[in-house]
Amino acid sequence: MTSQQAPPFYIKFSLNLLTIILLGGLIFIGQDILMPLFFAIVLAILLLPVNNRLLRWGIPKVPAMLLAILLALLVIGGIIYFLSSQIAVFVKDLPAIKQHFNDHLHTVQKWISDTFHFSYKEQDKAVKDATSGLKDSGSSVVGTTLISAASALLMVILLPIYTFLIMYYRGLIRKFFLDIFGDRHRSSVEEVMAESKTIVQGYMVGLLIEMGIVAALNAAGFFIIGIKYAIFLAVLAAILNMIPYVGMLVATVLCMVITLTSATQIADILWVGLILIVVQFIDNNFLMPYVVSSKVRINALVSIIGVLIGGALAGVSGMFLSIPGIAIMKAIFDRVDDLKPWGMLMGDDLTMLNKRKRKMIEKGKDSGK
């Protein structure tokens, strides 16, 4: 009786691609259910050190979990309260902002008229023609806004409940994964779970440290040039920067637009853009590699593609969770023989590749002698 032959490469490759597509489709279809669950998993892992510290202080299991979740909710609520208060000040100044915006708009229209001989009437007609479709889609915009608000409310309600249940049943969940893969893969499963916990904790803590440093640098720069809403814009840009690669671009455009509506000089807008570009340079070359990226070890190409795919599948939530998700996938791939090339492709360890390349060159020289 002959032993069973391994399937050809193209079959294994097709099955791997099919699995990835099915997982992506599952996330896309069930994002309203899965995203709160994924955020709860991240929050539960992040709160484990706090929970363990409370247990060492003699607090019982359930009260320790509830207290850890309450502390996290207080921190999140504090950030939301701060942003809400700053937005309230911004809304209060809307009449002055509208006047500044009209002044800048008049300046731009005058420049277009003088440069391109495009009259004010023709400019107004072009703007009306371009925005005529927005009125027709007003009801759909309102409907989309209500759906987004309902999803956010659902997230707020489910997040603490999911987090508590995941922390409470974490032993049962761990045993499930160990039993489902059998004793033969027990050590690999334990390594993946331990590494996943380290990755999530390290990445999230590093991200919070990076957010604080970026906010401080933004605020210092904005105070130096003396723009309005300096703290609000600095914190807003730092929060958006938590979305890898895409967030800072959105923050730069948004901060420049807000400055445009509140500043009297065009130079202030350019200074805001320059400050955010400089901070982004410092973040990309110093903060991100040493504070955040060292925790996940994912190369930039895979990170960018992963962020875009995460955004396409689950919006902003998918973009935010894409990096730790890819890092966990890499931890799994590195321990499955057939998937190790995929894990190598995700990583950023070029030293090992350079060593292999040097060995191959030396071997070729020795064989040629």
If asked whether residues 282 and 212 sit together in one domain, one would say yes
pLDDT over 60 at 286, yes or no: yes
Q: Residue 133's pLDDT is what?
A: 52
Q: Residue 365's pLDDT is what?
A: 52
The mean pLDDT of 184-196, rounded to a whole number, is 86
DSSP label at residue 348 = -
If asked whether residues 222 and 265 sit together in one domain, one would say yes
Q: Are 181 and 63 in contact (CB under 8 A)?
A: no
Q: Residue 357's pLDDT is what?
A: 53
Chain centroid offset of residue 80 CA: 18
Q: Which of 146-155, 157-166, 334-343 shows the lowest per-residue confidence on average (mean pLDDT)? A: 146-155
Instruction: Confirm whether 175 is domain-assigned.
Output: no
Instruction: Confirm whether 185 is domain-assigned.
Output: no
The mean pLDDT of 19-24, rounded to a whole number, is 88
Q: Which residue has the higher pLDDT, 201 or 90?
A: 201
In a 3-state reduction of DSSP, which class is residue 29?
Answer: helix
Whole-number percent of the chain with pLDDT over 70? 77
Q: How many angstroms separate the CA atoms of 243 and 103, rounded?
A: 34
Q: Residue 139's pLDDT is what?
A: 44
Q: Residue 137's pLDDT is what?
A: 46
Instruction: Confirm whether 87 is domain-assigned.
Output: yes
Q: How many angstroms separate the CA atoms of 79 and 17, rounded?
A: 41
Per the listing, tokens 């995203």 go with 35
Q: Residue 142's pLDDT is what?
A: 44
Residue 314 burial (C-beta neighbours within 10 Å; 0-12, 13-18, 19+): buried
Q: Are 252 and 277 in contact (CB under 8 A)?
A: yes
Q: Which residue has the higher pLDDT, 346 or 289?
A: 346
Instruction: Confirm whether 14 is domain-assigned.
Output: no
The mean pLDDT of 298-322, rounded to a whole number, is 84
Ranked by mean pLDDT, which of 163-177, 185-199, 253-267, 320-334 comes out on top? 163-177
If asked whether residues 158 and 38 sit together in one domain, one would say yes
Q: Are 217 and 279 in contact (CB under 8 A)?
A: yes
Q: How many angstroms separate the CA atoms of 231 and 275, rounded?
A: 14
Q: Which of 111-115, 217-221, 298-302, 365-369 shows the lowest per-residue confidence on average (mean pLDDT)? A: 365-369
Q: Residue 360's pLDDT is what?
A: 54
Q: Are 76 and 42 in contact (CB under 8 A)?
A: no
- Stretch (H or E) spanning 1: none
If asked whether residues 237 and 352 sit together in one domain, one would say yes
Q: Which of 61-65, 174-178, 241-245 shows the lowest per-residue confidence on average (mean pLDDT)? A: 241-245
Instruction: Confirm whether 180 is domain-assigned.
Output: no
The mean pLDDT of 107-125, rounded to a whole number, is 72
| Strands, E assignment, the chain | none
If asked whether residues 159 and 303 sit together in one domain, one would say no
pLDDT over 60 at 363, yes or no: no
Q: Residue 134's pLDDT is what?
A: 46
If asked whether residues 111 and 209 sit together in one domain, one would say no
Q: Which of 123-132, 287-296, 331-340 shows the lowest per-residue confidence on average (mean pLDDT)? A: 123-132
Chain centroid offset of residue 354 CA: 31
Instruction: Confirm whether 5 is domain-assigned.
Output: no
If asked whether residues 245 and 154 sit together in one domain, one would say no
If asked whether residues 326 and 226 sit together in one domain, one would say yes
Q: Are 333 and 340 in contact (CB under 8 A)?
A: yes
Q: How many angstroms separate the CA atoms of 275 and 215, rounded?
A: 12
Q: Residue 168's pLDDT is what?
A: 92
Q: Residue 275 corresponds to which tokens in the numbers above?
A: 């400050």
Q: How many angstroms separate the CA atoms of 265 and 193, rounded?
A: 54
pLDDT tens column, 39-66: 999 999 999 999 999 999 989 999 999 9
Total domains, the chain = 2
If asked whether residues 209 and 348 sit together in one domain, one would say yes
Q: Residue 60's pLDDT is what?
A: 92
Q: Which of 63-72, 271-280, 295-304, 349-358 shows the lowest per-residue confidence on average (mean pLDDT)? A: 349-358
If asked whether residues 220 and 153 sit together in one domain, one would say no
If asked whether residues 319 and 248 sit together in one domain, one would say yes
In a 3-state reduction of DSSP, which class is residue 151?
Answer: helix
The mean pLDDT of 303-329, rounded to a whole number, is 86
Q: Are 231 and 216 in contact (CB under 8 A)?
A: no
Instruction: Confirm whether 33 is domain-assigned.
Output: yes
Q: Residue 53's pLDDT is what?
A: 92
Q: Are 173 and 189 in contact (CB under 8 A)?
A: no
Q: Residue 143's pLDDT is what?
A: 46
If asked whether residues 343 and 269 sit together in one domain, one would say yes
Instruction: Confirm whether 354 is domain-assigned.
Output: yes
Q: Are 330 and 347 in contact (CB under 8 A)?
A: yes
Q: Which residue has the higher pLDDT, 317 or 147?
A: 317
Q: Are 45 and 197 in contact (CB under 8 A)?
A: yes
Q: What is the mean pLDDT of the chain?
A: 79
Q: Which residue has the higher pLDDT, 107 or 33?
A: 33
pTM for the full predicted model:
0.75
| Boundaries of domain holding 104 | 27-119+147-168
